[in-house]
Amino acid sequence: MQKTEVVCDACGRDLTTTSNCEDWRIALINQSIPPMPGIVTSMMIYPKLESDFHFCCWKCLKKWFEDESKYERV
């Protein structure tokens, strides 16, 4: 059995499971948009994110974004 671990990409907190009856984590993911019916263009598009990211709260998402923005390539 393979176990997938999910940690906050800002603070490292384990978000895999919770001891609460309900809990939440924030996920920032690449998600493909389906094409409209009919004729569509064909082009190569790469995801904006290198991988999916997870956060335990808005504060961590903000911290991660501010840190990543410093290194953003233009």
pLDDT tens digits for 28-44? 998 888 888 988 888 88
Q: At 27, list the tokens.
A: 């996920």
d(CA 51, CA 56): 17
pLDDT the model gives residue 6? 96
Question: Which amino acid type is present at position 24?
Answer: W
Mean pLDDT by 10 residues, the chain (74 residues): 91 94 94 87 80 95 86 54
Whole-number pLDDT of residue 70: 67
Give the distance between the most distant pair of CA atoms in the chain: 50
Tokens of 36: 């409209």
Task: Provide the pLDDT for residue 74.
Answer: 44
What are 46's two structure tokens?
A: 């790469």
pLDDT of 49 reads 82
